[in-house]
Amino acid sequence: MQAITSKEFEHIGDDTAVTVVDFWADWCGPCKMQTPVLEDLDQAYGDQVKFASLDVDQNQELAQSLGIMSIPSLVIFKNGMPTEKVVGFHPKAALKKYLDEKLTEVTA
């Protein structure tokens, strides 16, 4: 999973059908629980889904512009456009099911 800043964010999702950006902070307990889940899914999906993480404390303006009010928040990009936001901790099985649905939507 690639750590990004506001600068790299401009091109997020340009090269994959589905991209997941994890908005997190170092002080956030649920964020620390979500990270290993996302890292496992990153390995499982390979090139099908791109995963990135963005520290909201270091990139406050970007987080505010996307309406990030709670963390962890996952912003789902389909074909380079932000389409959905998932807030809070989610176990691996639930996120995998959700991402499988998103992949089906972009390939249908």
Report phi then psi at 50, rounded to 5: -100, 135
Active site annotation includes 31: yes
> Could you tell me which residues are beta bridge partners of residue 82?
77
The half-sphere exposure of 43 on its side-chain side, counting CA atoms within 13 A, is 6
Q: Which of 12, 21, 28, 56 is catalytic?
A: 28
Looking at 4, 20, 31, 68, which residue is catalytic?
31
Is 100 catalytic? The answer is no
Q: How far apart are CA 54 and CA 52, in angstroms?
A: 7
Residues labelled catalytic: 28, 31
